[in-house]
Structure 1
Amino acid sequence: MNVPHGFSLQERLMNKGTAVPWQSGMDMRCWYPVSVDAGKDAIAMCWRDMGNTRFSDSFFENTLARQPREERRVCRTPLSALAQLEDSLAPAAFFFHISRCGSTLLTQMLATLPHCVVMSEPPIIDSLLRLHHDSSAIDSIALLRLAMLAMGQRRFGHEAHYVIKFDCWHIHSLDLIRQAFPGTPCFFLYREPQAVLASHQRQRGPQMVPGMLHPALLPLPEHALAPGDLDGYAGLVLASLYETAHRHAAAGKLALINYSQLPGIVFSELLERLGIKPTAEQLQTMRERSGRHAKYGTAFNGDLQAPAGCRLPAIAAQLQPGYLALEALRAAP
């Protein structure tokens, strides 16, 4: 069964461009997998040729949108075309997060480094995870591994480090993702619940809108929320993310990073842990980037407060035990 999802239009837009016919043995360097299309007869991989366009934007899709229209080329291939790419890096780190917690800031800081490949929420991951739940005729682990390797291409010759930031709901798929690269360290970024809820109240992410995501990718308990209670739904989603992250962190699968530790922990611990050694000039560029808005690049003056009289403090209070449980794990020796 091919379950509809809320990213269909987005994927169609990302896959628009001059069509290039695929041929067996075709050189796929500089081509990046964007999504899979499960048709009636076969499953196709949809690619974009990115040429020399570097992935330096806040999100994968922003870089695709930045590419000039006249340079956009697309190609549909069999899934086997993933195995044709050779000069790629294995991921050095996976970043999972609770959303609106500094994960984009962290990856934007790393993306300033010319020798660091940063893939921020590449849609092919979600596309393959949906396919995993809709089709039993594929090797999901092999496809995830090949897709992640394809996104770690060394196009410019000096790339030495490669990290992936996943969508926040992908923490529910951590075990499946880790099977593709069992030795890759995994980090989870989180924040106190009221700040996260307030951010989503101002601009809701797709996970906070019922029906946007494939139901298997965001498992939620039965509930009796009133139709249109988006704040209540956001509380359910956050509760599931806190709980799932705690379970994995308690099992030793995740290293925890609190929003309050950013950006300092990048310089004091994370760079060394990942084996990244920036020059003094590159460190200064990273520090300058850390002072700007993670998504928009403008000066960051702090988060806006939730409007008076709203329900968010009450919802956040219900989520506080999940947040404190992560804090206790992070503080444990």
Structure 2
Amino acid sequence: MQHKLTLYRHLLHDEKSLAALQQSCSIQDFVQQMALYLQWPDLTFDLMLNFLEQQNNTVLVPDLELFSRFWQPADYRKKHQALNWVPAFEPLQQPFFQDDILKQRGKLLARFIRPVTLVSDLLAQTATLAPVSPDLIIFHWSRCGSTLLGGLYRQLSGVKLLSESMLISDMLLDPFWPEDLKPQLLTLAVQLQGRFRHGETQLAMKLNAWDLPLWPLWLQQFPAAKALCLGRDPEAILASHQRISGMHMAGLPGQLGVLGDIWQHCGSFFSGRCEVLYILMQSSEALVRQKQAVFIDYQHLVQSSPEQLAAWLGRTPDSHELKRWQSFSTRDAKQPDQVFQQASARPDVVFDPEQQQLIQGRLQPLYQLLLQKSEL
């Protein structure tokens, strides 16, 4: 059995063999390939399943530089401070990173082989990885065009878009880790998830809305990155969450860091949502005031030319990129197979007078201040 375990470890670091397994479309073929790799001629499906299940429940300490060429971390396990991995043979193409992960998990390789590593083991190998720094970081309040903007940047050749990584958010918000270690954790996560594996030359990162209060950490670690902060009229944002609530607006106390703490003290569910948005706006104001980021309002964003937006990445789009850009801009950014349709609900119908008063008194003054500082 020890020989088989050694062969299995080699398999996890063998790009050619893994690529062949990635292409396997039948269980029979997958078992046959595994029998060859493990030198196990009488391997059956049940034997393979039992063997792989044991390995999936065993912590792997990989040769991280080699291993992460064709594996990427997908999820953070808070209970054990561990990472789950999936194959990385295909470039990121979906509106959100988790959508790409779901696509990968539909393939046989990711279904049967599910490596798990401890973050502490990986930190010791950080120096073996090539440095990775985002060219652009997109902060946002949610429902203000960040998915559209990220998708547009993906139309530029050579751009890798890492969109709303839950792994990074979950790891940075885990109270297990001391604050002085979080810079190393962030660097490691970006090195692993942002790694160029498919000929990319630029990295754009769209963060989760609740990452915004952590902007000092992000810009401390990546001072050369251009930072954009997207916002929108608070009424429109809150109206969108009335229809479909985002995670940070769902009233989950004790989750998502400082935003989760709000729900323990708010007077009502709606006032809690307003306070969440207010904190995001406060963080944005600090970013802009300290000249750490450029503020862009949604209305300005949708009226901007491709040349204006591409300039934030230091790019001038060519004719092919402009054609892709134009085609993408007519689609629903979150569901690209559908044509974009503007939401019809009006804010003055959604909110009662008391809620309107809270929006106007609490949120609008700060929003108007940010509009004055907008550079588009």
| Letter of the 1:289 counterpart | F
Is contact 2:172-2:185 (8 Å) kept?
no
- AA in 2 matched with 1:163: A
Structure 1 stretches of 4+ with a deviation exceeding 6 A read: none
The 8 Å contact of residues 152 and 329 in structure 2, kept in 1 or not, is answered as yes
Q: Quote the residue 1:194 is aligned against.
A: 235
Hey, what's the Cα distance between the residues in 2 that align with 1:48 and 1:266?
A: 38
> Which position in structure 1 is the counterpart of 2:255?
214
**In the alignment, which of 311, 321, 326 is matched to residue 365 of structure 2?**
321
Q: Confirm whether residue 289 of structure 1 aligns to residue 328 of structure 2.
A: yes
- Work out which structure has the larger RCO, using CA pairs closer than 8 Å and 6 or more positions apart in sequence: 1
Shift in CA distance, 273/108, structure 1 to aligned 2, threshold 3 Å: closer
| Percent of residue pairs identical | 24
**Residues 1:92 and 2:135 aligned together:** yes
Residue of 50, 61, 64 corresponding to 2:98: 61
Q: Counterpart of 2:63?
A: 25
Q: 2:192 pairs with 150, 154, 163, which one? A: 150
After TM superposition, give the deviation of residue 84 of structure 1 in Å. Answer: 7.2
Which whole-Å CA distance do the structure 2 matches of 1:232 and 1:212 have between them?
14
Match of 1:164 among 205, 227, 230: 205
Where does structure 1 lack aligned partners over 5 or more consecutive residues?
Answer: 1-15
RMSD of aligned C-alpha atoms? Answer: 2.8
Give matches, 1:1-333, under 5 Å.
Answer: 19=56, 22-25=60-63, 27-39=67-79, 44-67=81-104, 68-72=106-110, 73-79=113-119, 80-81=121-122, 83=126, 86=129, 89-131=132-174, 133-136=175-178, 139-156=181-198, 158-211=199-252, 214=255, 216-218=257-259, 220=262, 223-226=265-268, 229=269, 231-265=270-304, 267-297=306-336, 298-306=338-346, 308=349, 310-311=351-352, 313-318=356-361, 319-330=363-374
Contact 1:32–1:150 under 8 Å retained in 2: yes
Return the offset for 1:38.
Answer: 4.6
Q: State how far apart, in whole Å, the 1-side matches of 2:290 and 2:264 are.
A: 26
Moved more, 295-304 or 99-108: 295-304
Mapped partners of 2:302, 2:256: distance in 1: 34
CA, structure 1 residues 32+186, in 2 after alignment: closer, same or farther (shift >3 Å)?
same
Query: What is the deviation of 1:204?
Result: 0.3
What TM-score do the two structures reach when normalised by structure 1? 0.83
| Contact 2:210/2:256, CA 8 A, preserved across alignment | no
Kindly provide the CA deviation profile for residues 99-121 of structure 1, in whole angstroms up to 9, marking residues without a partner as x. 10000000011123341100000
- 1:86: how far off? 3.5
Instruction: Provide the secondary structure at the position in 2 that maps to 1:234.
Output: helix
Distance 1:69 1:277 in 2: 37
Contact 2:155 2:324 in 1 (8 A): yes
8 Å CA contact 1:263–1:290 kept in 2: the answer is no
Q: Quick check: 93-102 or 182-191, which moved more? A: 182-191
**Structure 1 residue 89, shift from structure 2 partner:** 4.1
Point out the more displaced range, 95-104 or 259-268.
259-268
User: How big is the shift at 1:279?
Assistant: 2.8
Structure 1 residue 289: Cα displacement? 0.6
- C-alpha displacement at 1:325, in angstroms? 0.8
Higher Cα Rg, which structure: 2
How many angstroms does 1:253 deviate by?
1.1
For the residue of structure 2 that corresponds to 1:48, the secondary structure is: strand
SS in 2 for 1:262: helix
Quote the offset at 1:53 in angstroms: 2.3
User: Number of residues paired by the alignment?
Assistant: 309
Aligned with 1:194: secondary structure? helix
Query: 71-80 or 61-70: which moved more?
Result: 71-80
Cα deviation code 1:131-172 (max 9, x no counterpart): 2x433287210110121121222212x211101111112111
State whether residues 164 and 208 of structure 2, in contact with CA within 8 Å, keep that contact through their aligned partners in structure 1: yes
* Matched residue, 1:4: none
- Matched to 1:93, the amino acid is L
Change beyond 3 A, Cα 1:63–1:210: same
SS in 1 for 2:239: helix
Instruction: For residues 202-231 of structure 1, give each alpha carbon's deviation from its aligned partner in whole angstroms, at most 9, with x where no partner exists.
Output: 0000111222663634254984413xx3x3
SS state at 1:49 partner: strand
Structure 2: gaps (5+ residues): 1-52
Q: In 1, Cα distance between the equivalents of 2:180 and 2:117?
A: 15
